[in-house]
Amino acid sequence: MLSPTQILLIIVVSVLSAVLAVIGIQVFLILKEGKRSIEKMNKILDDAVTISSSVAKPIASLSSSLSNLSGITGVLGWLFNRKKKSEEEKKDE
């Protein structure tokens, strides 16, 4: 026959086993939810990269256009200055 100490020990081991099984299941579910959250974050970051690249392309083309415009204004300024200098030289003669 089983003594009261052995019965108590069996009950305690059984309860602890059940509690550890429940904790294991909960940890598994938490890790599963964490994986889903990380996957969603990854999708958000991929979308952010797509959006930022689609915004950066027009800005880069605008920048190059402004740079070209700056080069054209520099050439036009040089031509006007040259024309003014030649007009001043004609006046001096």
For residue 2, is it within any domain? Answer: no
For residue 6, is it within any domain? Answer: no
For residue 76, is it within any domain? Answer: yes
DSSP 39: H
For residue 69, is it within any domain? Answer: yes
What's the one-letter identity of residue 11?
Answer: I
DSSP string, 23-37: HHHHHHHHHHHHHHH
Q: What is the pLDDT of residue 92?
A: 66
Nearest to 6, CA basis, from 19, 16, 17, 14: 14
If one counts the domains in the chain, the total is 1
Tokens (6 digits) for 86: 């030649």
Q: What is the pLDDT of residue 66?
A: 66
Q: What is the pLDDT along the chain (93 residues), one digit of tens a residue?
A: 889 999 999 999 999 999 999 999 999 999 999 999 999 999 999 998 888 888 777 777 777 766 766 666 766 777 777 777 777 777 666
- Model confidence pTM above 0.85: no
